[in-house]
Amino acid sequence: MEKLLIIGANGFLGRKLLYRFHDKFDVYGADLITTGIPEVYHPSYIDISKKNVVNDLINIIKPNLTILTAAMTNVDACEDFSEKAKKINSDGPLFVAQALKDIGGRLIHISTDFIFDGEQGDYTEKDIPKPISVYGKTKLEGENNILKQKIPVVICRTSVLFGWPEADQRHNFFSWAYENLSKKKELKIISGQITTPTLVNDLVEFLYQISGFTRSEIYHTCGTEAISRYNFILKLIRTFNFDQNLLKEIDFLPQKAKRPNNSSLNTAKIQQIGNWKFKNINKSFQYLKSQNKNSK
């Protein structure tokens, strides 16, 4: 059985990958904090900003495939700590790719819609990135650093991952809103910021389907529906029968980092491969409604 290393295995996406891939690979989970990684997945410490730590772990495990989900994703914090963001989002992927090159390993790298400026929307894989934040710039640098190593790699750009986190994990936009609405707390949501939100379970399944890839590709792996933050929450409210009066639309939200106005991604390319299709918002919410909140 081939070995799979998931870097960022304690995170929202990473832990779901552990559970999905165990029947196909001998799965190894690595992260800065390993307490949430079950022992069956060989939990290991890794700090991708430290080249020697990355080299040591990859040379010990010698994974056939690595999925890199670890990143500094707090967009505003990246502005405040730009050097740290560079080390994690730019240098980290380079160190992973270099180590995999030495052992002949393949890589799936999770990237972001924030590599685009948001002036256009509906971006295809052929559109030229133009990031407007430190987060976006460092994530694009990470992509380019990997590609320069010329290893077998699939870069998956995704957008606003949502779904049920486990009890010890931090909220995503969906679960944060659900929790607050459940407590009848008012939500002030910006009217703009159009994205293509992605049900985390769909991304996990897509990665499972392509895990045997032999040719390097860049894919836009996200939901099929471009939607504003406000309308996303409005659909959540209607699906889960919350009080719509709790939702207030605002035109401006003070944020340190500049956000793209419309970073929606075009998914035509991925619709042509595999047998798994990403859902729109309504179908995603219906799926989540049918699941136990703490389901894996």
Q: Which pair of structure tokens corresponds to residue 169?
A: 């994990």
Q: pTM of the prediction? A: 0.96
Q: Is the predicted pLDDT of residue 43 greater than 70, yes or no?
A: yes
Q: What are phi and psi of 258, to 5 degrees?
A: -70, 135
Q: Is the predicted pLDDT of residue 162 greater than 50, yes or no?
A: yes
pLDDT band of 293, cuts 50, 70, 90:
low
Q: How many residues does the chain have?
A: 296
Ordered structural domains, the chain, with CATH: 3-163+198-222+264-279 (3.40.50.720)
Cα–Cα distance between 62 and 100 in angstroms, integer? Answer: 8
pLDDT band of 292, cuts 50, 70, 90:
low
> E strands along the chain, which residues?
3-7, 26-31, 44-45, 65-68, 106-112, 153-158, 161-162, 187-190, 198-199, 217-220, 247-250
54-to-43, 116, 202, 237, 269 alpha-carbon distances in Å: 14, 29, 29, 43, 32
Beta carbons of 205 and 220 less than 8 angstroms apart: no
Count CB neighbours of 275 within 10 A: 6
Cα–Cα distance between 18 and 13 in angstroms, integer? Answer: 9
- Give me the mean pLDDT over the 257-286 stretch: 91
Instruction: Please report the pLDDT score of residue 296 as a whole number.
Output: 41
